[in-house]
Structure 1
Amino acid sequence: MFKFEILHQSKKSEARVGRVTTKHGSFLTPAFVAVGTNGVLKAVDHVSIAELALPLVFANTYHLMLHPGADTIEKAGGIHQFSGRTGPIITDSGGFQVFSLAYGSVANELKSKGKKKHGNSVLSITEEGVVFRSYRDGAKITLTPESSIEAQKKIGADIIIPFDELPPYHMDEPALQRSLNRTHRWEKRSLDAHLANPKHQAIYAVCHGGVNPDYRKESARYLSSLPFDGFGIGGSLGKNRQELAFVLENTIGHLRPEAPRHLLGIGDIPSITDSVPAGIDTFDSSYPTKAARHAVAFHPDEPVRLKSTKHRESFEPIEQGCPCFTCKHYTKAWLHHLFKAHEATAHSLTTIHNLSYMTRLMTHYQSLILSDQM
């Protein structure tokens, strides 16, 4: 059921327009992938944003395993039936939690220079897998490559991710090499578990190696030798856009060119703009929805900060000509009022606009690539 076609390769750069086809529909790339940790985007449900035609939504296996549980989702008919989303869904492996439960956010890890959080919930990392302590009830949970794939089979996403470890930016070279080797073994075990029961799902490998170019090449070449359907570029991607570009330069050229490439966890507009010409097909990030909840609306000129008093009497939409529900029905002044009044509707309406902006931006990039201008 899964297929990736390259429709056009730019003559100006490594950018390309492609089509991803899954059991639950197809979409064009490059594309932005919205993050719905618990199977839904924060502040909006799938039905209310159906007209946005979001190409792909990213859900978190670890959180869904804790609640409502993979078995419950399977009994409901899978994540699409359970959540009301008709379009394609991708799930991660739970491996990111190896990082986030131990170090917090990527930004926090960079600031703390690799110091683990006090009382972090990662109890042990072994060859078998990772033992966590549930943030919900404190119960011990063992996650292995096999159990991660089993959970993703029950959840029923169109694209799944093998179990991996996201090492911190500040990890020393010997430890990074050990982590990379173990991640490769985990990914091979994940692939084997998937191939034993494909269920019309695709599986993307995740290339690691930190900002070490030799490790990046090693990871890309090894994983390209295995029958993965696509490739994610993950792990530590650097502390700035220059290091991100360096990572991509030392990874993309060593991947099978006919397979889709997904950049994990990167969704700010400058990074996307830089990475599309490098040959990235899809991006995922919670940034647009998180920005919306902080009253920041996207605009071609500059972000609109809706809490600013200058918008108290701004009786025009966030973006003139934007076709989204929010811009067709409401003004910046109304949104300013809602945020100042602490009304949850403000989060929903601004999220709808930011998601519309991202989908239109990617459609614009597709047009530029097709005309060899990007």
Structure 2
Amino acid sequence: MSPFKFELLHTSTKSRARVGRIHTPHGIIDTPSFVAVGTNGTLKALDNEMVSSIGLQLMFCNTYHLLLQPGPEVIEKGGGIHRFINRNMPIITDSGGFQVFSLAYGSVADELKSKGTKKQGGSVVKINDDGVLFRSYRDGRSILLTPETSVKAQKAIGADIIIPFDELPPYHIKPEELARSLDRTHAWEKRSLDAHLEDPRGQAMYGVIHGGVDDALREKSCHFLRELPFDGFAIGGSMGKTKGQMVTMLSSLLPKLPEKAPNHLLGIADLESLKSCIPLGIDTFDSSYPTKAARHGTLLTREGGMKITRGKHSGEFEPIEKGCPCYTCKNYTRAYIHHLFKAKELTSMTLASIHNLHFMVELMQEYRQLIIDNKV
């Protein structure tokens, strides 16, 4: 029997927002939940003991980067990702598909500006129905990433939740090309699932729903993946050019997903999107935004983002936010953190990241209570 299980505890009477629990071999994830991104097996500027003490229940690691350094075989020899990075709570890994997109087209922001033109001289050598051939940015060696090799790597890494190999087409793509990409992704996901089921290892696999902002293709993807024995579903691909476009797409898609399976929104967890998407019924959200903002001196507060490097904070001998119980706010003042950023001390990034991550964990706890109270 699989150790993975989703419990739906309450659905709001005011919206489709819901509270649940995802059971994994390394603990429970209370939903809705924020998932921080630890690309290389760590959240930048934080060690995993600190991350666990903050209460982050699910952490996202990137298969593509771990494949290149230190390599899945090293992680497996080290006892799997949990033992290797010293984390006893749940971990999710992606397939490497997003990195294929960014290697070919640049970041999402760059792609939206470039109208879908491929980068010149990029690391991707070839994309076909078999998989993707690319050059390592570390040592230049050629690597073939396929559904089977992606799953093999994720098996060796040993995350609790894994993602099938998929293609992330750009926002600017012709409709016929988007349809072809969807068919390829479905074939890759089926191959990934087959490889996973040959050696489950107690891991769960989420199917990834694609189709861009085309409702018909999203529905087609949802119908195709629902017929396969995935443990949950992730929503990937282009979310549109604006948040409004994303919300419109998700509003149409979410009612088509199985109610008794968890769902995850890939790469989106800014505060505005959480406010819009939690009422739609999203269970988990991942994003590097809170920790990236922290490293650039933006601290999250109830009143909005605080740019701690501004001169007005140099004489404020109070915590980042009054009443915040995080380690940073309990021990340090705005004036000191301002000084650390101005002095370019690395500790500034650590203290800021602790606060922002704690802010996100507490925010999601509050959302869960609001849903239970039928206020969201």
RMSD across aligned positions (CA): 0.7
2:116 match: 114
The 5-angstrom pairing of residues 327-338 of structure 1 reads 327-338=329-340
2:328 counterpart residue number = 326
Name the structure 2 match of 1:2: 4
The one-letter code sitting in structure 2 at the alignment partner of 1:330 is Y
How many pairs are equivalent?
A: 374
Supply the distance in 2 between the matched residues of 1:217 and 1:38 (Cα, whole angstroms): 34
CA positional deviation for 1:206: 0.5
Paired residue secondary structure (1:34)? strand
- For the residues of structure 2 that align with 1:211 and 1:227, how far apart are their CA atoms? 25
Higher mean alpha-carbon deviation, 292-301 vs 119-128, is at: 119-128
Deviation at 1:142, TM superposition (A): 0.2
How far is 1:51 from its partner? 1.6
Paired position in structure 2 for 1:250: 252
In structure 2, the partner of 1:68 is: 70
Matched, 1:157 2:166: no
- 1:373 aligned residue: 375
1:303 matched to which residue of 2? 305
1:114 maps to amino acid: G
SS in 2 for 1:276: helix
Letter paired with 2:5: K
Give the counterpart of 2:366 among 357, 360, 364: 364
SS at 2:304 equivalent: coil
Give the match for residue 83 of structure 1: 85
1:131 alignment partner, SS class: strand
- Aligned counterparts of 1:357 and 1:17: Cα–Cα separation in 2: 19
1:236 corresponds to = 238
Cα distance in 2 for residues equivalent to 1:322 and 1:49: 17
Match of 2:99 in 1: 97
Q: Which runs of 5 or more residues in structure 2 are unaligned?
A: none
| Paired residue type of 1:48 | M
Q: Structure 1: which amino acid aligns with 2:90?
A: P
Using the alignment, how far apart are the partners of 1:145 and 1:57 within structure 2?
Answer: 22
Mark the runs of 5 or more structure 1 residues left unpaired by the alignment.
none
Alignment of 1:124-273 (within 5 A): 124-273=126-275
**Cα displacement (A) at 1:221:** 1.1
| Alpha-carbon shift at residue 120 of structure 1 (Å) | 1.1
Q: Displacement of 1:50 after TM fit?
A: 2.2
**Percent identity at matched positions?**
59
Structure 2 distance, partners of 1:203, 1:24, is 15
Which stretch of structure 1 is more off in the superposition, 181-190 or 242-251? 242-251
Bigger CA drift: 305-314 or 104-113?
Answer: 104-113
Provide the rounded CA distance (Å) in 2 between the counterparts of 1:87 and 1:243. Answer: 34
CA distance in 2, matches of 1:48, 1:191: 34
TM-score normalised by length of structure 2: 0.99
SS, match of residue 250 in structure 1:
helix
